Structure 1
Amino acid sequence: MKNIILLILCLVSLNLNAQDLIKTNDGDIKIHPILHGTLAIEYQNLTIYVDPYGGAKGFKGLNDADLILITDIHGDHLNKNTLNELNTKNSYFIVPEAVAQQMNGIDNAEIEILNNDKSTSFQGIDITAVPMYNLPVDEESRHPKGRGNGYLLNIADKVIYISGDTEDIPEMRALKNIDIAFVCMNLPYTMSIDQASDAILEFKPAIVYPFHFRGQGGLADVEEFKSIVNSENKDIEVRLRNWYPSN
């Protein structure tokens, strides 16, 4: 009995197979928070990985990716060690040009370059690359405008927004009809919880997942983020999940 309990605790600590179900007009979307800015999405027979990072152990129990989206060149987004641990030989990659230039040595079925404001489709899912960048826009920016991508995914009747590493830029604030948003908040790289909550209150996604919230000072206070958002708008569902299972 003791060994069974220890096994259960171990599985929980690794965040294995954790998932949320989002109902659509054509089946469920399964959301798997994995680590930091890394997640997996399952829909029908399709498996999508976003920014695989942290090693293959985080993907245990999931199918190999049919589609892999990468947002930027930094190691917590384009992580070659993790990609080389995973079986990606049949995976279709959609990446910005700066990432494509660094994809040498990664097995893949195909790499499609998709830059800001361009769209494509994959197995019935419409995908649009949207800007992600730091403010002010200058040469010293950690995330210059045009290098990396956020993504909009149209799956059945749902629109999913993945922010990438961004501040509360006008392009994010102008988003409309977002059902599910994954929004970063880690200083000094992206946003504070005040910036992120202010942006969320402007574009009003139905569901928001704070993710990518480990910064120089540790983990951002996502409970406070939730409190700020819901004090102004109780209709926005803030989902707090275990993005840092080893902490």
Structure 2
Amino acid sequence: MYRPCLASLGANWLALMLCAAGFLPAQSPQFARPRWNAEAELQLELQAANGQRYQLQWSTNLVDWRGLATAASTGLVQHVDTASPYVPQRFYRALQAATNALTGDHIPTAQGDAIMRHFNHATFLLWWNNLAIYVDPTATTYVSQGYPRANLIFVTHEHNDHYNLNALNTLTNAQTVLVVSSSVYALLVSAASPLTNRSVRLLNGQSTEQMGVHVEAVPATNDRHPLGAGNGYIVTLGGTRLYISGDTSASIDRSRITNIDVAFVCCDGRYNMGPPEAAQFVRAIRPKVVYPYHYNQANPAAFKAQVGRDLGIEVRLRPWE
């Protein structure tokens, strides 16, 4: 089914690159020779046909393969494996994906990968088991751009960079369920929105199960966000625990924010934690993977440096802004 494109050995790594068969030689996707950046992270480059989509996968034994990312080619697919400094050996391969496959990072769960597609600021999409789960959607163009309508939507609080009623209206259908904070629920009620009847209001400490997804609300508060008005969320997908911070400080009650696999932590330094505070917060909760987001003009690279590598926390930087 696959044929080797490149094998190379270096820095205690054996990287065997595989590509999909069935192409003419001139059209075959090929990995470029592996390179490492200054942080000892492997930089993958796949030379592939423009317009095609590929799923990058990794393995430690050439038998069990796991998704790394799905990406669209512009002639070249580039991806930095930020987990590479923490593992002694990985093999990689690329499989051609459907032309309409959702692009994004793969997050493993016991019930199949979730694909995380970042948008901007505080918004992202999780695609898992044919469920489209949106967090703080604020644009009205997701569906017109080809993204799926929402099955579930989580809204952390009422500020307009997290809550937009028009965006919610364009993204929902009659089956969509919203999980919202008390401040967002109050706005839906005051607007006499039909979405009120499909919204689950969670107070800090409360939880709900929707479509096989467990969601628990945890505090998200700071000088600009009163305690109880907004939520952070712990979302469990197939046993994998994701923490979504919302706008918060590090001084919240962290007793429920434990055993986190993937964290999404706001860090703009104006409406929530700055990079130094956010880095200390992350070091305290110790997720396996963290995405800094909602960072505006703050420097996410500074956050990554301050998290450090001694605790084995993988920091993934994506262009949220």
Both structures adopt the same fold (TM-score exceeding 0.5):
yes
Q: Does 1:115 align with 2:197?
A: no
Higher relative contact order (CA 8 A, sep 6+): 1
> Matched residues in 2 for 1:223 and 1:105: separation?
43
- Residue 202 of structure 1 corresponds to 284
Q: Which has the higher helix share?
A: 1
- State the SS of the aligned residue for 2:184: helix
> Matched residues in 2 for 1:78 and 1:183: separation?
18
Q: Give per-residue Cα distances to partners, 1:15-42, cap 9 Å, x unaligned.
A: x954111122221111111110111111
The structural deviation recorded for 1:61 is 2.8
> Matched residues in 2 for 1:170 and 1:131: separation?
6
The structural deviation recorded for 1:54 is 3.0
The structural deviation recorded for 1:60 is 2.7
> Matched residues in 2 for 1:196 and 1:58: separation?
33
Query: How many residues get paired?
Result: 224
Q: Does 1:132 align with 2:194?
A: no
Q: What runs of 5+ residues in structure 1 fail to find an aligned partner?
A: 135-140
Structure ID, larger Rg: 2
> Matched residues in 2 for 1:46 and 1:132: separation?
26
Q: Tell whether the 8 Å contact from 2:267 to 2:278 is kept in structure 1 after alignment.
A: yes
Q: Match of 2:181, as an amino acid?
A: P
- State the SS of the aligned residue for 1:48: strand
Q: Tell whether the 8 Å contact from 1:17 to 1:60 is kept in structure 2 after alignment.
A: no
Q: Following superposition of structure 1 onto structure 2, how do residues 185-224 of structure 1 map, counting pairs within 5 Å?
A: 185-214=267-296, 219-224=297-302
Q: Give per-residue Cα distances to partners, 1:43-77, cap 9 Å, x unaligned.
A: 10211111101332487332110111101010011
Q: Does 1:52 align with 2:137?
A: yes
The structural deviation recorded for 1:174 is 6.3
Q: Does 1:75 align with 2:160?
A: yes
- Residue 225 of structure 1 corresponds to 303
- State the SS of the aligned residue for 1:98: helix
Q: Tell whether the 8 Å contact from 2:102 to 2:115 is kept in structure 1 after alignment.
A: no
Q: Give per-residue Cα distances to partners, 1:62-104, cap 9 Å, x unaligned.
A: 2110111101010011112322333444311111122111113
- Residue 138 of structure 1 corresponds to none
* Pairing partner for 1:177 from 259, 262, 265: 259
The structural deviation recorded for 1:230 is 2.1
- State the SS of the aligned residue for 1:146: coil
- State the SS of the aligned residue for 2:232: strand
Q: Match of 2:200, as an amino acid?
A: E
- From the superposition, tell whether residues 185 and 151 of structure 1 become closer, same or farther in structure 2 (CA, over 3 Å): same
* Pairing partner for 2:150 from 62, 65, 77: 65
Q: Give per-residue Cα distances to partners, 1:146-165, cap 9 Å, x unaligned.
A: 11000001111200000010
Q: What runs of 5+ residues in structure 2 fail to find an aligned partner?
A: 1-49, 52-72, 78-100
Q: Match of 2:246, as an amino acid?
A: G
The structural deviation recorded for 1:198 is 0.4
> Matched residues in 1 for 2:235 and 2:129: separation?
15
Task: Provide the identity percentage.
Answer: 35
Q: Tell whether the 8 Å contact from 1:84 to 1:106 is kept in structure 2 after alignment.
A: no
- From the superposition, tell whether residues 58 and 39 of structure 1 become closer, same or farther in structure 2 (CA, over 3 Å): farther
Structure 1 runs of 4+ aligned residues shifted over 4 Å read: none
Q: Does 1:148 align with 2:230?
A: yes
- From the superposition, tell whether residues 177 and 93 of structure 1 become closer, same or farther in structure 2 (CA, over 3 Å): same
- Residue 314 of structure 2 corresponds to 237
Name the stretch that deviates more: 187-196 or 48-57: 48-57
> Matched residues in 2 for 1:208 and 1:35: separation?
16
TM (norm. structure 1) is 0.83
What RMSD over aligned residues (CA atoms) do the two structures have, in Å?
2.4
